[in-house]
Chains A and B, each alone.
Chain A
Amino acid sequence: MNDNLDEKLDNLLRSRHIEPPSADLAQRIILKAGQSPQTKPMPLWQSVRELFGEFHLPKPAYVLASALVFGILIGLSAPQETYIAAEDGGAAIQSFLSADEALL
C-alpha cells in the first residue's frame, strides 16, 4: 500500500508541468555577455598602485605624515638604557621615601 503511494507520488513528481523557455534564451544570454566586459585579474603591483592612486593628499599632509612616522620610528629605536635609568630612578625615590618614614 505504502509502496503504491510512493510510486504514485514519484510519478506525480516526475510529471510536473513546466513552461518551456523562449527559443532564443541562450542567444539572448550570449549576446548580452558579448556586450558586458569581463573583469580581468589584476597583478599585485597594479592593485597597490591603484590603491595609492586613490589617495590625493596635499603636500603638507605628506610632510606631516612623514614626520609622524619618523618620530614614531625614532621613539621605538630609543636605547634600552633609558628605561633602566628610569627604573633606577624609581628605586632611588622609593629608598628616599622609606628613609623619610624611618625618621618619623
Chain B
Amino acid sequence: MPVTWPDKEDNELLALVQDGSHPAFAALVERHSERFYRLAYRYLQNREAAEDMVQDAFLKLWQDPRKWQADKNAKFTTWFYRIVVNLCLDWRKRKRPVALDEDMPLIDDQESADQVMIHRQEQRVLEKEIAALPERQRTALNLCFDEGLSNQDAADAMGVNLKALQSLIMRAKTTLKERMKAYL
C-alpha cells in the first residue's frame, strides 16, 4: 500500500523526490496520474497512448526531478500540465492523427434510443470540431473545461497572460458555436 501523505503539499513531495524519495514520488503519482491522464486523453483520444504519455511525463520527472524548481515554477500541477501537453503535441506530430472511437460509450444508459443516437452524434461532431481548432485554442478549452482550472491557472500553464487566454477561449467557443449550430 503506497503512502499517500495527504498532509504534504506537492512542493514538499517534490523536494523529497529531489532527495531520491521513491515513496514521495509514488504519492505524487497516486495523487495526480488520473488528472493528467484526462488531459492527455483529450489530445490523443486513445487510452493506451494517453497512459503512455502520462507514464513518460512522470518518469521524466523521476529521472530528473531538478527540472522542477520551486522558486521558478509557481505550482507543480501548472508546470506539469505544460509538460504533458508538450509531450502530447510531440507525439501527435510524430504519429498520424488518431481516429475518433466509433464505439464511443454512452453517457447515460437511461437515455432513449433516439436520444442516445443524438448524443453520440453530438459528441462525435464536437470532438471532430475541437480537434480541428488551432492548437492553443484547444489547449485553453481542455484546461478550462475538462480540468476545471481557473482561467489564471490555465493561463500560467500555457505561459500566456489572462487576457490572451480569455481571448483564446472566446475564439474557440465562437468557432464551435458556428460549426455546431445544428446541435445547439
Contact = CB atoms under 8 A, between A and B. Distances in A.
Interface stretch (A26-34, A67-75, A89-97): A26-34
B55 A29 contact: yes
Contacts of B176: 9, 13
B180 A25 contact: no
Interface in A51-66: none
Interface string A12-38: 111111110110011011101110111
A5 to B, nearest CB: 5
B33 A33 contact: no
A16 to B, nearest CB: 7
Interface string B23-48: 00110011001100110011000010
A79 interface: no
B29 A29 contact: yes
A28 to B, nearest CB: 7
B2 interface: yes
Main secondary structure of the interface of A (DSSP, over half): helix
A32 to B, nearest CB: 6
Nearest to A22: B51
Given A17-B104, A21-B50, A21-B51, A5 B177 contact: yes
Given A18-B146, A30-B22, 12 more contacts: A9-B180, A13-B145, A13-B176, A14-B145, A15-B107, A16-B145, A25-B34, A26-B29, A28-B55, A29-B33, A30-B30, A36-B59
6 contacts: A5-B177, A19-B41, A29-B29, A33-B25, A36-B59, A38-B64
Interface of B: 2, 20, 22, 25-26, 29-30, 33-34, 37-38, 41-42, 47, 50-51, 54-55, 58-59, 62-66, 101, 104-105, 107, 122-123, 126-127, 141, 145-146, 173, 176-177, 180, 183-184
Query: What 10 pairs between A and B have smallest CB-CB spacing?
Result: A33-B62, A21-B37, A26-B33, A13-B145, A30-B26, A8-B184, A19-B47, A29-B58, A26-B29, A29-B29
